[in-house]
């Protein structure tokens, strides 16, 4: 082939790729996903971030999984739990011929080890999720039996998340408290490397039981907090999948015609949490913070009355999210359709501050996650609250470090989201019950605990809904959490990426996707 022929060949090839991007993608063996935040520690026992759950979805499978209709089905279990003894004994059969990503066998003994690690490890965020489990027994190599303190209706739902993720006992023994730096679970991909604030890389596991599930050799998670930079990278092809598309960008991406833009109302919520008693750390005894916001419920009520949820949704999210004032999403069968949110009342907010002796107004700090969307939400709240007499100082902070400060009692208030769980117990109990593993505010009310615990013991949807209604009434009154809205999970990717399914938990599941 002479020089002119080579030139014509290269030009023709370039034109073909330009006209048919699927040809280029067909050769790509790496899928690059842009996350808006850096996950915290990649240890299922200790982790608490939503973005961390997205990484786990590829490398750490669970006993159970949920689908688009919020139905629970087996993943590493062989069947749904068998319940006996009045609901106090639960038997789980495991999928045979499964290996961890280090090649060691996944057995009932490994599952027992993992569940007990979730229950007892220092700093575990799974402890309250599994507090109903009194003992874990190995029946045979592929059967575990859970002895419960009392019937626990959300158990399968809890085991469809990090509480149901087995970890390799051999890797834990080898790495100790460094396990989160190189996690080993069961998954289509396995952990390779992590560069903080930059990327997390996983590669196809040679040990996964379903060889056809992973179509990509590698999945790279790039940490790109800035919305505009993520969009620019999607358009240029530097990333293949964009997480947390801003509503303002969703419309323009749809109009371009090159991208699929998927949106689903999430199971979670965004809220302002207010520190009531966490002075020296969430595991320490409650203390007196000595602030009107912590000690006087009238000040917290005034703060809520200063906020217009509808306007917040319109200004910050172009009306594409769902206004809400509770922890249960409208797409849940447990959602209370009768609940009415408080409306903005600046005059009453001012009176409440005056009644609390704060006639000159009140100043406090609110931490916001340092990304453009959350800063915008914080600024809208800041402006609304100012009209009622609040002077809120916003402190943008990197997500993982903000979570640690929250645990350590270093915050007055925190604008934070919760990604949501398929059973409402996972949205409420560990954050609102006395001693809950995610109760950073150290709020405690035995009446709330009694209602939440009773809801754990029954299976009837109507009865559980009524119990949650009563508990949420009490939580609303104490206002350690001011619920604002339920987010939509909006993602974008090229139209020739096939197989993605939007599930209301907002997780990106790469398994089963491929270039067309």
Kindly report, residue by residue over 373-388, the tens digit of the pLDDT. Answer: 899 999 999 999 999 9
- Split at pLDDT 50, 70, 90, the class of 7 is very low
Q: How confident is the model over 256-284, as pLDDT tens digits?
A: 999 999 999 999 999 999 999 999 999 99
Tokens at residue 10, please?
Answer: 């290269």
Question: For residue 21, is pLDDT > 50?
Answer: no
Does 241 fall in a domain?
A: yes
Q: Specify if 365 maps to a domain.
A: yes
Same domain, 446 and 301: yes
State the pLDDT at residue 486: 96
The domain boundary, picked from 150, 175, 200, lies at 175
pLDDT higher than 90, residue 20: no
Any domain includes 373: yes
- Same domain, yes or no: 216 and 347: no
Taking only the tens place, the pLDDT of each residue in 462-484 is 999 999 999 999 999 999 999 99
| pLDDT tens sequence across 299-313 | 999 999 999 999 999
Residue 54 covered by a domain? no
Q: Are both 127 and 191 inside the same structural domain? A: no
**Same domain membership, residue 152 and residue 79:** yes
The contacts of residue 425 (CB under 8 Å, 6+ apart) are: 153, 154, 157, 158, 452, 455, 456
Calculate mean pLDDT across residues 237-242. Answer: 97
Q: State the Cα–Cα distance between residues 493 and 496, nearest whole angstrom.
A: 8
SS3 state of residue 120: helix
Tally of domains within the chain: 3
Q: What is the pLDDT of residue 345?
A: 98
pLDDT of residue 11: 42
Task: Examine residue 323 and state whether it is found in any structural domain, yes or no.
Answer: yes
On the question of pLDDT at 401 being above 80, the answer is: yes
State the CATH number of the domain containing residue 427. 3.10.105.10
Burial class (CB in 10 A: 0-12, 13-18, 19+), 254: middle
Mean pLDDT for the stretch of residues 177-206: 97
* Residue 114: domain span: 61-175
Does residue 314 sit in the same domain as residue 442? yes
Q: Which two tokens stand for residue 234?
A: 């999607």
Kindly report the length of the chain: 516
Single out the residue in 175, 204, 231 at which a domain terminates. Answer: 175
> Does residue 362 sit in the same domain as residue 306?
yes
Radius of gyration of the chain (CA): 24
Compute φ and ψ for 24, nearest 5 degrees. -65, -45
Residue 10's pLDDT band, with cuts at 50, 70 and 90, is very low
Per residue in 130-166, pLDDT (tens digit) is 989 999 999 999 999 999 999 999 999 999 999 999 9
Q: What is the mean pLDDT of the chain?
A: 93
Q: Which of 175, 199, 216 is the last residue of a domain?
A: 175
416-434 average pLDDT score: 94
pLDDT at residue 13 in the model: 47
> Residue 157 maps to which CATH number?
3.90.76.10
The reply to whether 291 and 430 lie within a common domain is yes
The model's pTM is: 0.84
Please report the pLDDT score of residue 22 as a whole number: 45
Same domain, 108 and 69: yes
pLDDT for the residue numbered 419? 87
For residues 275 and 374, state if they share a domain. yes
Mark residue 61 as left, alpha or beta (left: phi above 0; alpha: psi -120 to 50; beta: remaining).
beta
Residues 237 and 119 in one domain: no
Three-state secondary structure along 163-225? HHCCCCHHHHHHHHHHHHHCCCCCCCEEEEEEECCCEEEEEECCCCCCCCCCCCCEEEEEECC
Residue 232: give its domain's CATH number.
Answer: 3.40.190.10
Q: Does residue 52 fall inside a structural domain?
A: no
Q: What pLDDT band is residue 372 in, cutting at 50, 70 and 90?
A: confident
Does the pLDDT at position 405 exceed 90? yes
In a domain, 8, yes or no: no
Percent of the chain with pLDDT over 70: 95
**Statement: residue 443 has pLDDT above 90:** yes
Q: Which of 142, 160, 164 is nearest to 73 (CA)?
A: 160
For residues 217 and 252, state if they share a domain: yes
Do 506 and 363 lie in one domain? The reply is no
The answer to whether residue 213 is domain-embedded is yes
- Indicate if the pLDDT at residue 16 is higher than 90: no
């Amino acid at each position: 082939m002479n020089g002119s022929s080579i030139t014509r060949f290269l030009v023709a090839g370039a034109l073909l790729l330009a006209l048919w991007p699927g040809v280029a993608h067909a050769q790509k063996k790496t899928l690059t996903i842009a996350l808006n935040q850096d996950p915290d520690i990649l240890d299922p026992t200790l982790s608490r971030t939503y973005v961390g759950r997205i990484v786990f979805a590829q490398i750490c499978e669970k006993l159970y999984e949920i689908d688009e209709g919020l139905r629970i089905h087996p993943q590493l279990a062989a069947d749904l739990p068998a319940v006996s003894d009045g609901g106090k004994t639960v038997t789980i059969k495991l999928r045979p011929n499964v290996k961890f990503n280090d090649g060691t066998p996944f057995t009932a003994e490994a599952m027992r080890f993992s569940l007990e690690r979730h229950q007892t490890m220092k700093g575990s965020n799974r402890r309250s999720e599994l507090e109903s489990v009194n003992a874990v027994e190995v029946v045979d190599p592929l059967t575990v039996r859970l002895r419960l303190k009392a019937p626990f209706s959300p158990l399968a739902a809890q085991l469809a998340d990090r509480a149901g993720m087995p970890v390799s006992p051999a890797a834990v023994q080898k790495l100790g408290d460094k396990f989160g730096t190189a996690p080993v679970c069961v998954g289509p991909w396995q952990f390779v490397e992590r560069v903080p604030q930059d990327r997390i890389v996983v590669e196809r596991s040679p040990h996964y039981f379903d060889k056809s599930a992973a179509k990509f050799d590698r999945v790279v998670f790039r940490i790109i907090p800035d919305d505009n930079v993520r969009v620019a990278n999607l358009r240029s092809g530097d990333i293949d999948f964009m997480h947390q598309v801003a509503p303002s960008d969703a419309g323009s991406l749809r109009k371009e015609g090159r991208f699929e833009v998927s949106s689903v109302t999430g199971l979670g919520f965004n809220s302002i949490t207010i520190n009531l008693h966490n002075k020296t750390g969430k595991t320490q005894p409650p203390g007196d913070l000595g602030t009107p916001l912590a000690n006087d419920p009238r000040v917290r009520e005034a703060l809520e009355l200063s906020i217009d949820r509808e306007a917040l949704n319109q200004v910050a999210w172009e009306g594409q999210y769902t206004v809400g004032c509770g922890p249960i999403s409208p797409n849940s069968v447990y959602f209370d359709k009768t609940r009415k949110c408080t409306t903005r009342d600046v005059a009453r907010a001012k009176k409440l501050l005056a009644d609390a002796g704060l006639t000159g107004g009140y100043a406090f700090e609110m931490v916001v996650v340092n990304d453009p969307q959350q800063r915008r939400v914080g600024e809208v709240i800041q402006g609304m609250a100012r009209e009622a007499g609040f002077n809120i100082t916003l402190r943008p902070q990197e997500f993982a470090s903000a979570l640690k400060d929250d645990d350590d009692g270093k915050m007055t208030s925190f604008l934070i989201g919760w990604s949501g769980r398929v059973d409402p117990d996972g949205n409420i109990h560990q954050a609102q019950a006395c001693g809950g593993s995610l109760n950073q505010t150290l709020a405690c009310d035995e009446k709330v605990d009694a209602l939440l615990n009773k809801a754990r013991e029954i299976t009837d949807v109507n009865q559980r809904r009524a119990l949650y209604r009563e508990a949420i009434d009490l939580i609303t009154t104490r206002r350690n959490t001011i619920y604002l809205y339920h987010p939509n999970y909006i993602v974008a990717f090229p139209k020739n990426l096939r197989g993605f399914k939007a599930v209301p938990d907002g997780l990106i599941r790469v398994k089963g996707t491929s270039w067309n």
